[in-house]
Amino acid sequence: MSNSLLDVNVQNKINTWLTGNYDSNTKMEIQDLLNEGNIGEITDAFYRDLEFGTGGLRGIMGAGSNRVNKYTLGAATQGLSNYLLRIYAGQQIKVVIAHDNRNNSDVFAQIVANVFSANGIFVYFFKGLRPTPELSFAIRYLGCKSGVMLTASHNPKEYNGYKAYGSDGGQLVAPHDEAVMEEVSKISNISEIKFEPIIENIQSVGIEIDKLYLETIIKSSMSRDAIRRQNDLKIVFTPIHGTGGVLIPDALRKFGFTNIITVEEQMVVDGNFPTVIYPNPEEAEALSMAISKARETDADIVLATDPDADRVGLAIKNDKNVFILLNGNQALSLLVRYMLDTWEKSGKLDGNQYVVKTIVTSYIIDKMAAAKGVECYNSLTGFKFIGEIMTRMEDKKTFIVGGEESYGYLVGEHARDKDAVISCAMFAEMAAYYKDMGSSLYDAMVNMYIEYGFYKEKLISLTKKGKSGAEEIKQMMENYRNDTPLNLGGVKVIMLKDYKTGISKNMLNGETEKIDLPSSNVLQFFTSDGCIISARPSGTEPKIKFYCSVNAPLPNRDAFDEIDKMLDSKLNGMLKDLGI
């Protein structure tokens, strides 16, 4: 391939990698790309440095400055090490490293452990794959200053990533995230990265932490008697080839369940995810094998987890005995209601408890919490902000449950990240609780809507690729700010919340008040009948997302289908008025 076809900056970076102190396999991979003559691929691999963002790194694996590889992960770890050594100067610094099932995750985890150890930092190293929430638990239990999870969550198989955690077991938040980003950006040459390990600084951990973790989460169980009576509840579970298979069947058994039906083809640990298009439990296709197994076995409930076992997909039978997939809002709402009801029945609610959700998650949760005298905190989108609130409230109030619409939930205070292990156990416990009363999870959902209102949510994602797409998304947000619609779906907009400016504006009288949350590029439109649409550009993908929530009273079960259709029509009308 002619060098003249490449951007000069890209060519300079390629030359640096080909002539620098990079290993021979990396250089051969780069040369192969050059020989293939794929301008687009080689440019994408080198046109920028893979950014260490507020959540760490995530990208396609391969050679290049914009790829996940030994050198980009090494630089991230060296930067994080430099930060830890600076702020904990003179103290013993311990970290935990874990990884999921993705291709190269084990290799990358070892590299990360080596770099930490070479910097004099003591490493607890999970050699076998483990769920992300267990890493969060281990950081807290072992008294560590930080931790790293090697995962790209539910991204396609070509991806991998690096999630950095603080001493509270939560993902890094301000000001620590920005301080680490600054340290990483200072790494200008790979010679600054200490790759040679100090072996005595690395200690393997595994089943002893598993045991402690499982013993801890079982303490959150609220319905042991119901489980004893319904222990043969038929549970279909799939980890979709990921880490959920390590602990979730054991967790279900420890909770008391005896009839766990696994999707054996997907219990196989495989970073190529051969049985699904995307290993994402938010996608119906990813649960298709589990649903099929559930039909064959006449199961009660279907549970599916993503590769690092922090998200859960849930399927239940409706009133026609057909399995339906619940979205994240429905699943979390059911979980919150169950926890509030059982805490109340056990006499544990005394006004000193709280729940947490994000601003784009169903507001039926706020309503249910208020009815029980429990405070509901709303955070920015991203579980790290939920974890931040939990850390702030530690020893002040008791956390019951929290989560976000993107299928991430947490029960109990053992971790500071979403936890699919305890979530699976608690969803099964919920099913047993309601079955013990002659009901079902679907009945419980309908009854929840009758009591608190029928809340229906929908997520719309518009993909706008490239520079022009980014500019279009930016312009859309500015248009909404400067020319705010006065009506949505024929209903007045009474409030605009702009989290970027931190101002909430009453659209009827023009009065404003401050929003007590960090700045974030999110807009929320509130209508006079309690409906909400939130607009938010994605921070990791070329998308703008619209989180839509409509609601109406549900007088009785017989009206469910009618109200459901009416809410669909209402939602579509609101989106049309936003030009979507």
Which CATH number is 80's domain given? 3.40.120.10
Q: How many domains does the chain have?
A: 3
- The Cα-based distances of 25 to 21, 69, 110, 241 in angstroms read 12, 12, 18, 28
Yes or no: say if 105 and 271 are a contact pair by the CB < 8 Å rule: yes
Yes or no: say if 45 and 62 are a contact pair by the CB < 8 Å rule: yes
Strands (E), 151-282: 159-165, 202-205, 235-238, 260-262
Kindly list the strands in the beta sheet with 408-411, ordered across the sheet, starting from the edge strand earlier in the chain: 375-379, 353-358, 398-404, 408-411
d(C-alpha 305, C-alpha 311), whole Å: 6
Q: Are residues 486 and 570 in the same domain?
A: yes
Q: Are residues 291 and 393 in the same domain?
A: yes
**Buried b vs exposed e over 241-265: b needs ≥16 C-beta within 10 Å?**
bbbbbbbbbebbeebbbeebbbbee
β-strand partners of 238: 304
Q: Are residues 145 and 90 in the same domain?
A: yes
Yes or no: say if 354 and 374 are a contact pair by the CB < 8 Å rule: yes
Q: Are residues 205 and 248 in the same domain?
A: no
- Which residues in the chain show pLDDT less than 70? 1-4, 539-541
d(C-alpha 89, C-alpha 362), whole Å: 44
- The Cα-based distances of 43 to 12, 57, 70, 172 in angstroms read 11, 19, 19, 31
Q: Are residues 183 and 242 in the same domain?
A: no
Q: Which of 452, 473, 490 is at the close of a domain?
A: 452
pLDDT confidence of residue 4: 57
Residue 518, preceding bond cis, omega within 30 degrees? Answer: no
Residue 411 in tokens: 């029960």
d(C-alpha 572, C-alpha 580), whole Å: 9
d(C-alpha 165, C-alpha 310), whole Å: 15
Which CATH number is 539's domain given? 3.30.310
Residue 516 in tokens: 């007590």
Yes or no: say if 253 and 221 are a contact pair by the CB < 8 Å rule: no
Q: Are residues 339 and 398 in the same domain?
A: yes
Q: Are residues 238 and 311 in the same domain?
A: yes
Q: Which of 398, 429, 452 is at the close of a domain?
A: 452
- The crossing angle, in degrees rounded to 10, of helices 70-87 and 105-118 is 40
Between the two ends of the chain, the Cα-to-Cα distance in Å is 43
Give the helix/strand (H/E) hosting 338: helix 328-345
Q: Are residues 428 and 521 in the same domain?
A: no
Residue 259 in tokens: 């009839």
Yes or no: say if 291 and 322 are a contact pair by the CB < 8 Å rule: no
> Is 6 within the bounds of a domain?
no
Q: Which residues, in sequence order, are CB contacts of 22 under 8 Å at separation 6+?
A: 71, 190
Q: Are residues 177 and 272 in the same domain?
A: no
d(C-alpha 532, C-alpha 488), whole Å: 10
Q: Are residues 297 and 389 in the same domain?
A: yes
Give the predicted TM-score (pTM) of the model: 0.95
Q: What are phi and psi of 547, to 5 degrees?
A: -100, 115
Q: Are residues 437 and 458 in the same domain?
A: no
Report pLDDT digits (tens) over 148-165: 999 999 899 999 999 999
pLDDT confidence of residue 1: 47
> Is 396 within the bounds of a domain?
yes
Q: Which domain holds residue 169?
A: 48-211
Q: Which residues, in sequence order, are CB contacts of 158 under 8 Å at separation 6+?
A: 60, 61
The number of CA neighbours under 13 Å toward the Cβ of 477 is 25
Q: Angle CA(391)–CA(207)–CA(109) in degrees, nearest 5?
A: 70
β-strand partners of 401: 355, 411
Q: Which of 178, 211, 244 is at the close of a domain?
A: 211
Residue 309 in tokens: 């076992």
Q: What are the residue numbers of the active site?
A: 153
Q: Which residues, in sequence order, are CB contacts of 395 under 8 Å at separation 6+?
A: none
Q: Are residues 432 and 562 in the same domain?
A: no
Q: Is 398 exposed, middle or buried (0-12, 13-18, 19+ CB in 10 A)?
A: middle
